[in-house]
Amino acid sequence: MKDKICINCFISGRVQGVWFRANTQKEAQKLGVNGWVRNLQDGRVEVMACGTADQLEQLKAWLRQGPEKAEVTDFECHEIPCQNFKDFDVV
> Which residues are tagged catalytic?
21, 39
8 contacts 83 by C-beta, under 8 angstroms: no
Q: Report the distance separating Cα 43 and Cα 13, nearest Å.
A: 8
Residue whose C-alpha is closest to residue 58's, from 29, 16, 87: 29
Q: Report the distance separating Cα 1 and Cα 18, nearest Å.
A: 32
Query: Which residues are CB-neighbours of 39 under 8 A, at least 6 positions away?
Result: 16, 21, 45, 46
